[in-house]
Structure 1
Amino acid sequence: MDIFGAIVDFIANTNVPDQFREVDVRGLFTNPWFLVPFIAFIGYHFYKQSVNTLVITALVLGLWIFSGSPMMEDLVVDGHLQLSKVLPVAGVGVLALGIAVYFLFIRSD
């Protein structure tokens, strides 16, 4: 358990959550230094017909977009968890976990 504390401390000290919150999505997807390799990655996996990788990539992008949605921003207000928002967020998490387990472990390319 001591290693998990060290990992959490490292993430907190490097301000990783703040960096994720401050990402300029529009700027990222209009930047050719990101967009060209990303399109090449997607095109390569379409060519290879590796559906698992494409679905997991779409799942990660979808969860990233969902994490910046108003639903997630209003989850904790003034230090109090909003119980009306917990069930939809947990549902999205369970659905994402189910899709990931299916495509990574049950279905193979």
Structure 2
Amino acid sequence: MANAAAADGVFSKIGAWVLSTGVPDQVRQVDIAGLFSNPYFLIPFIGLVGYLLWKQAFNELIIVMIFICLWWLSGTEYMQTLVVDGVLQIKKVLPVLAGAAAVLGFIIYLYFGRS
């Protein structure tokens, strides 16, 4: 039990530090259309995708696309309504958990399921 209390203390300190940096607010306020029209983001991103295609690193390319899709999905109205008035909506969380498990299973399959 002492280990669980110590772990809670460590995680609460890490959570407080992450919130104090302001990164979650910055991520919420990202202008996606502006980001993908900004050459300082677009040129390195296209370079990364081109490099991954050139190296034929399709697993990594799929992982990049999954992260982009998850980032887009996190900004949808469905995700914004998972918590209403401080109460977690369990009927909305279960499909998200099932989708996350499917994506994790797919990633594990990519790296360990085939040679």
TM more than 0.5: yes
Structure 1: runs of 5 or more not aligned: none
Q: Which residue of 2 aligns with 1:29?
A: 36
Structure 1 residue 35: Cα displacement? 0.2
Root-mean-square deviation over aligned CA pairs: 1.6
Counterpart of 1:98, as a letter, is: G
Q: Which residue of 1 aligns with 2:101?
A: 94
Does 2:35 correspond to 1:15? no
Q: Which residue of 2 aligns with 1:44?
A: 51
Q: Which residue of 1 aligns with 2:76?
A: 69
Structure 1 residue 54: Cα displacement? 0.3
Deviations along 1:74-97, one digit per CA (max 9) or x if unpaired, are 111111122221121112211221
Deviations along 1:50-109, one digit per CA (max 9) or x if unpaired, are 01110110111111111111110111111112222112111221122112222244445x
Runs of 4+ in 1 over 6 A off after TM superposition: none
TM-score (norm 1): 0.88
Question: Which protein shows a greater Rg?
Answer: 2
Cα distance in 2 for partners of 1:99, 1:91 equals 12
Which range is displaced more, 24-33 or 97-106?
97-106
Cα distance in 2 for partners of 1:24, 1:33 equals 14
Aligned partner of 1:6 among 13, 27, 33: 13
Counterpart of 2:106, as a letter, is: I
Task: Report how many aligned residue pairs link the two structures.
Answer: 108
TM-score (norm 2): 0.84
- Greater relative contact order, per chain length (Cα 8 Å cut-off, separation 6+): 1
Structure 1 residue 3: Cα displacement? 4.0
Percent identity of equivalent pairs: 46
Counterpart of 1:57, as a letter, is: V
Aligned partner of 1:53 among 23, 43, 60: 60
